[in-house]
Structure 1
Amino acid sequence: MDALLPSLLLVSPLPPARNGIADYAAALLDGLAPHYRCTVACEDWLAAAPGAAVVDPALAHRLPEAGGRVLHQIGNNPDHGFVLRALRHLPGVTTLHDPGLLHLHESTGESRATILAGLRHAAPGMAATFGAQLRDHGLSTRSNHLLFDLAGEVLARSRAVVVHSRFAQRRLRLTHGEAATAHVAVIPHPLPPGEPPARGAARARLGIPPGDFLLVTAGFAARAKRLDWVAAALAALPGIRWIHAGGADPEQAAAVADRARVTGHLDAANFADHIAAADVLVTLRFPSQGESSGPLARGLAAGVCCLVSDTAAYAELPRDAVIHLPLAGGARALAAALAGLLADPGRAAAIGAAGRRHALAEMALPSVAARYRDVIEASRDRPVAPLAGSAAPPPLLRARPERAAIAQVLAGRQGACRLRLDVSELAALADLSLAPTGLLPGLLPPRAAVRALRVEPDGLLLDLDLAGPG
């Protein structure tokens, strides 16, 4: 029955990469399996995707059928450089997990000219002033990451773009305009597959006594996740145990070293246990560009009381499903909320239950996967912009692998073209290559320079540069 399903190429990092989007992609594959035969292009040769073949991205161009389906997963870190490069040559639907993408460009060696072009496209008025340090001296400032997004190329090269919040959709629309963002759809972050661990069993495995009040922060903690605010809030609440389930950048790790236990990267089962064991899961973000959160989805699914910053995507969550914390006086507001929950444990349970009801109604994996299917199918024929700085694609010509037939189709042409030599069996190509002059010199006119060659199941595809009209 699987053979009757259409094929889909997913381009994304996968586990064991220590990357939340890799985990997202692996979970999404489970949801897409009823709709597509999936293949994954992934740079990591250790990557595993049960139920799907994994291929090298360099070979991905061979996979999509005519009008084929491609789904890219792009985030703002160096693990996604190969996805950005693949999008340039394999347009499809793109999940834009973070509209910023400046760190992605900087950390994967994209040229300064490409980055400056992205800054000018996003905010031409500001780029003249705030991009001057990069333009004139090669210096990138922290403010650039807040002021600019480099999503313009993704918007232009994608048949559709998926974001996880209305905030992210509106932000893109305000920056890039209505016309450039008409194909942006909102699909919520899905819940992970399967049931979360039971709280009591998770606490037992982690050695957390039943009476301890456990606060968990989770995922890789960069500065914007504000572990410093959590440390300040807990200064007056010594009775709360704090575990950070994940890694942290050096600045954040130093800020919490005397208060939290930082676990470092955890495998999926251990990570799920830490979240399910929590009395509260604290997920802060400032500043935010509309990012979503895999740990938050796990916390909601597990019925844990979640405390979030009242900003961007988090502000869209129902007011009874989480506790929203104001950005002003963030540490004080967190301390007050935690003190209230300590005094009234039933409130935390009620909020956790409401959060789980919301998650099951809006974020269940089958529902999210069905919405992806709808976006993929509806956008298959949508045209995309040509590659930046590229001319129109060269004409594609076809001929039999005979010198006279090739001379006829090339007659009067010059410049770039693509020539397909139709051969019913590859063995025939091998026979032709035994000619004294060799295969291509025996078939092509002297004015034809071969720039690229690809063997396909029923022929040979040549990129040619013709020196002058024949």
Structure 2
Amino acid sequence: MTPARNGLTVWTPLPPERNGIADYSAILLGGLAAHYDCRVACDDWLGLTPAGIAVVDPALAHRGAGPRVLHQIGNNPGHGFVLHGLRGMPGVTTLHDPGLLYLHETMGAAGATIRAGMAAALPGLAAVYGRQHREHGIQTRANHLLFDLAGEVLARSRAVVVHSAYARNRLRLVHGPAATAHVAVIPHFVPPGALPDRAAARARLGLPQDGFLVLTAGFATAVKRFDWLIEALALAIGQGAALRWIHAGAERPEEYALGAAIAARPAVAARAHVTGYLDEAALDDHIAAADLLVNLRFPSGGESSGSLARAFAAGTCCMVSDTAAYAELPRDAVLHLPLTGSVGLLAEALCAMAAEPARAAAIGALGRRHAEAEMALPAVAARYRDVIEESLGRPVAPDAPREVVSTLVLEAGPRLLARDLEAVLAGRRGPCRLLLAVPDLAALADLTLDRPGLLGDLLPLAARLVSVRVEAAPRPGLLLDLDLGGAA
């Protein structure tokens, strides 16, 4: 008789959410399934998992859960429910990006809570750089770079996984050795299985078999230094380099106006294309078809890159910034671009490799060899297993005390209007707890089915929804935690 295997509950977003960590988690689950009976707590019950792995409602994840829990947390709105899960079910946390300030903002954390997290890690800097936030409610780019707000994750996790020594050392510098003694480094894995053949990928994409293709990937943001790349491409094209550039990803004009920057350089625009968001198969085709993946970061917070791992697996030559986690990659496996004189050096490299593509192919082959030795999924999953098992006896800090606020009650029925809620909230500021009361849970189910956009219709613009949960007793209903502004 085969002995029963231990269960593992994984809190994470899942595909089809447009979130690189969702893709990471879906693939990692396939590796973890070799060691555990996995299930996933996800706020999208239609999330995609490997065969045989169930998705459970985060509100019910505690039922039948054992001590083995893994949280996947990144710095974007898709991970708010994971942070809530960590508060209730401590376990191992993969911290994909230590800079969690944006996550807390999008979760509706009160200003005082955010500033307390900033000051707890770097009190001297918080006194200076937190002034604009404290006095005017303005969050600067410097704040997002300097303050990670990872203290709660470190305290509530039995172990924390990061993808580079740089990320571990950064946490240690900010939070101290004692608070980070349980941080382990596990590299980003390469996807299992072979990526597409270069010729076949180009054929599917309608690209010519010859010609040097430069690729960038993912969401277009300022830290990926498209400004450097566009200027370098213009220089290289002006010197006669025969190449084309594709950005395999979506533009985020509110962060970086990529289309406008390309249009301002007509020579580059004639050889450039932005695909928009791509599914996994299309992204793999673009990476396999490329001669060079340019993956720059400055400034870097120590984040990892799924597209870089895919390029390693495809044997595509990669160019990275010589900084942070990227500086740890073997010098023969990637091209490292210095942070000084970057534009001119990048232009020189583009000209040289476009003239002799075999040089790029040779570097790509060494990158694939490195990935096969250090980043294979079974090895990464086994290291996760070791961290999870070793963490089981480690205590965690008690959950941070929550501000106690009185609960307002509003009878919720089919005729409930926004003005009814406005009347209850009139004159209130700061944290607020509101119960939309119903006779029983059956009535609540009927109400939410009849009015699926209920909260969006009811809540005033000034009210930020921090959390919502179903209450069965002492009075049934929807319990809302709100931030009405004006506090702190």
Mapped to 1, the partners of 2:356 and 2:211 lie a distance apart of 15
2:236 touches 2:348 (CA, 8 Å); kept in 1? no
Partner of 2:261: 255
Relative to the length of structure 2, the TM-score reads 0.78
Three-state SS of the structure 2 residue aligned to 1:387 is coil
Partner of 2:133: 134
Q: List per-residue Cα deviations over 1:373-427 (Å, max 9, x = no partner).
A: 0000000111000111269xxxxxxxxxxxxxxxxxxxxxxxxxxxxxxxxxxxx
Mapped to 2, the partners of 1:104 and 1:54 lie a distance apart of 23
Mapped to 1, the partners of 2:12 and 2:109 lie a distance apart of 19
The structure 1 residue matched to 2:246, chosen from 209, 227, 243, is 243
Counterparts of 1:377-456 in structure 2 under 5 Å? Answer: 377-389=389-401
Which contiguous aligned blocks of 4+ residues in structure 1 show a shift greater than 4 angstroms? 451-454
For the aligned residues, what is the CA RMSD? 1.8
How much does 1:3 deviate? Answer: 7.2
How much does 1:346 deviate? Answer: 1.9
Identity of aligned residues (%): 67
How much does 1:286 deviate? Answer: 0.6
Mapped to 2, the partners of 1:218 and 1:2 lie a distance apart of 45
2:376 matched to 1:375? no
1:30 touches 1:193 (CA, 8 Å); kept in 2? no
Mapped to 1, the partners of 2:49 and 2:184 lie a distance apart of 26
Three-state SS of the structure 1 residue aligned to 2:143 is helix
How much does 1:236 deviate? Answer: 2.4
Partner of 1:365: 377
The alpha-carbon distance between structure 1 residues 206 and 3, as it changes in their structure 2 partners (threshold 3 A), is farther
1:2 touches 1:37 (CA, 8 Å); kept in 2? no
Deviates more, 1:324-333 or 1:266-275: 324-333
Partner of 1:406: none
Mapped to 2, the partners of 1:372 and 1:39 lie a distance apart of 16
Mapped to 1, the partners of 2:16 and 2:35 lie a distance apart of 25
How much does 1:210 deviate? Answer: 1.4
Matched AA of 1:246: G
Alignment length (residue pairs) = 394
Three-state SS of the structure 1 residue aligned to 2:216 is strand
Partner of 1:98: 97
Partner of 1:340: 352
2:10 touches 2:70 (CA, 8 Å); kept in 1? yes
Partner of 1:401: none
2:247 touches 2:275 (CA, 8 Å); kept in 1? yes
The alpha-carbon distance between structure 1 residues 224 and 63, as it changes in their structure 2 partners (threshold 3 A), is farther
Task: Give 1 or 2 for the bigger CA radius of gyration.
Answer: 1
The alpha-carbon distance between structure 1 residues 2 and 133, as it changes in their structure 2 partners (threshold 3 A), is farther
How much does 1:318 deviate? Answer: 0.3
Counterparts of 1:315-330 in structure 2 under 5 Å? Answer: 315-330=327-342
Partner of 1:308: 320
Relative to the length of structure 1, the TM-score reads 0.81
Deviates more, 1:249-258 or 1:186-195: 249-258
Mapped to 1, the partners of 2:262 and 2:60 lie a distance apart of 45
Mapped to 2, the partners of 1:48 and 1:337 lie a distance apart of 40
Counterparts of 1:77-88 in structure 2 under 5 Å? Answer: 77-88=76-87
Q: List per-residue Cα deviations over 1:305-351 (Å, max 9, x = no partner).
A: 10000011110000000000011122222111111212322211110
Partner of 1:18: 18
How much does 1:117 deviate? Answer: 1.2
Partner of 1:399: none
Deviates more, 1:50-59 or 1:360-369: 50-59
Mapped to 1, the partners of 2:227 and 2:6 lie a distance apart of 48
Matched AA of 2:401: G
Mapped to 1, the partners of 2:69 and 2:4 lie a distance apart of 18
1:3 touches 1:37 (CA, 8 Å); kept in 2? no
Three-state SS of the structure 2 residue aligned to 1:235 is helix
Counterparts of 1:2-17 in structure 2 under 5 Å? Answer: 4-17=4-17
The alpha-carbon distance between structure 1 residues 222 and 63, as it changes in their structure 2 partners (threshold 3 A), is farther
2:202 touches 2:289 (CA, 8 Å); kept in 1? yes
Unaligned runs of 5+ in 1: 392-450, 455-470
The alpha-carbon distance between structure 1 residues 217 and 2, as it changes in their structure 2 partners (threshold 3 A), is farther
How much does 1:452 deviate? Answer: 7.5
Mapped to 1, the partners of 2:245 and 2:334 lie a distance apart of 19
Mapped to 1, the partners of 2:399 and 2:233 lie a distance apart of 51
1:228 touches 1:252 (CA, 8 Å); kept in 2? no
Counterparts of 1:74-223 in structure 2 under 5 Å? Answer: 74-223=73-222
Partner of 1:407: none
Matched AA of 1:386: P
Matched AA of 2:320: V
Three-state SS of the structure 1 residue aligned to 2:235 is coil
2:58 matched to 1:52? no
Mapped to 2, the partners of 1:215 and 1:390 lie a distance apart of 50
Three-state SS of the structure 2 residue aligned to 1:10 is strand
Mapped to 2, the partners of 1:320 and 1:185 lie a distance apart of 25
Mapped to 1, the partners of 2:2 and 2:321 lie a distance apart of 43
How much does 1:137 deviate? Answer: 2.1
Deviates more, 1:2-11 or 1:329-338: 2-11
Partner of 1:408: none
1:165 touches 1:187 (CA, 8 Å); kept in 2? yes
The structure 2 residue matched to 1:271, chosen from 278, 283, 304, is 283
Mapped to 1, the partners of 2:23 and 2:206 lie a distance apart of 26
Partner of 2:302: 290
Matched AA of 1:28: L
Matched AA of 1:255: A
2:31 matched to 1:31? yes
Mapped to 2, the partners of 1:37 and 1:356 lie a distance apart of 31
Unaligned runs of 5+ in 2: 404-469, 474-488
Three-state SS of the structure 1 residue aligned to 2:397 is coil
Deviates more, 1:335-344 or 1:15-24: 335-344
